[in-house]
Amino acid sequence: MDRRSFLQFTAAATGTTALGLKTQEAQAAPKIKTSARIVIAGAGAAGLTTANYLAERLEGANITIFDARKEHYYQPGFTLVAAGLKSDKYPVSTTAEYVPAGVKLIEERVTEFDPDANIVVTDSGQRIDYDYLVVATGMVLNYDAIEGMDTSRIGTNGLGSIYHSPEKAHATWQAMDAFTNKGGVGVFLRPNTEMKCAGAPLKYTMITEDYLTRRGNRSKSKVIYNANNNALFSVPIVHEKLRMIFQERDIEINYSRVLKSIDLDRRIATFDHADGPVELEYDFINVIPPMSAPESVKNSPLIWQTGNWADEGWLDVDRNNLRHKRYPNVFGVGDIAGVAKGKTAASVKWQVPVAVSHLVAEIAGTTSDAFYDGYTSCPMITQLGRAMLIEFDYHNNLVPSFPGIIAPLEELWTSWVMKTMALKPTYISMLRGRA
């Protein structure tokens, strides 16, 4: 990218249009007066964004958001911490600072949903009535599903796991740093479930390989990636690009292997495969656990009744408006939504305005044509200083935000800058309802 193009990109990336910041005209739209009781279950990225959008659109509504965790995590930053690029404090803030005026935060979890009675129950036994419910509980990490896994040992004896927490992401960096300073066998994988940002295991594989190369230890090392199915990525053209990068960098690919158990003392990972169990010895491993909906949702009437979405407990919502198919006063946004794409923070930015538009229209007695097309974004770091900005929809179409400036399948410094510097401010704007 030449200087002129970069300046054009910078202007676009920091301007209101590219970041999706709402214009003054949109912000000045008259509020809808209502006394509706609205409950938001979950105060992560999706829940807080929803709270801010609703607070801006409604006047007089009784909006309550529930979440027991006081800390707020910028989860896209976990990979940067585990790569040694950011401190473990980088992704951490507080939930309360993003709750808008007029919205009540209750620091408890919703443990039971009764959509037939329009009631939620919290872990202290509070029963809360609602007129409208937004489920934004996110998903849970099921480390216990891996036999022998012990999260307390992340960061020791070659064990890494970037998803657990900021502290464990930093511990993963320490383990990866030690590994790349010495060399050996690095094992990488993804679970055979839906997951937060399916690109994270791939980018961490490439980051680790790049460190080995930069430190002169690549020739005495083996890097192995174990895909859960027959593809590296769900979008075919992206899979092929990654396959070519892995081939060029001599990263071994094993398809249809799913981590079953791990021996942390002997450093042996056992994978399920159609031909039988496969054992891999490792010097470093990045464990990504299976993921699912929280038990409160899985045990509720809100989930898909049949099919793969039911197995993991995802919310049965219409994929284009995020409205529940059987309970029209219920919406699901963020990771919990049972839709084919969209388990990234970038998807929240597009999902929430659609869901809120339909909810507000219902309150106002009108209709909305707001439409979510499955937009998902994955800034795929391929090496230190280079990344691909991959954006796609339900139909696996690439939908670049900066056509002519950022090619989605090119490894660019500008995409690296977006991932490491520009996205967190955009994310915070999103939480506050401004993006």
Enumerate the active-site residues: 197, 378
Residue 29: how many other CB atoms lie within 10 Å? 10
Task: Decide: helix, strand or coil at residue 382.
Answer: strand
Residue found under tokens 């656990």: 289
Are 81 and 91 in contact, with CB atoms under 8 Å apart?
A: yes
Residue 433: partners with Cβ closer than 8 Å, 6 or more residues away: 22, 49, 51, 52, 53, 55, 56, 100
Alpha carbons 426 and 415: distance in angstroms, whole number: 14
The full DSSP string for 294-327 is -HHHHTSTTB-SSSHHHHTT-B-B-TTT-BBSS-
Residue found under tokens 């007089």: 60
Q: Is 288 buried (19+), middle (13-18) or exposed (0-12) by CB count in 10 A?
A: buried
Alpha carbons 188 and 160: distance in angstroms, whole number: 10
Task: Decide: helix, strand or coil at residue 142.
Answer: coil
Task: Decide: helix, strand or coil at residue 76.
Answer: helix
Give the dihedral of Cα atoms 321, 325, 331, 336; nearest 10 deg: -100
Give whole-number Cα distances, 286 to 168, 202, 283, in Å.
Answer: 11, 11, 11
Residue 216: partners with Cβ closer than 8 Å, 6 or more residues away: none
| β-pair type (284-286, 159-160) | parallel
| Both structure tokens of 277 | 């169990």
Q: Which of 140, 73, 136 lies closest to 355, judged by CA?
A: 136
Residues paired with 225 in a beta bridge? 188, 253
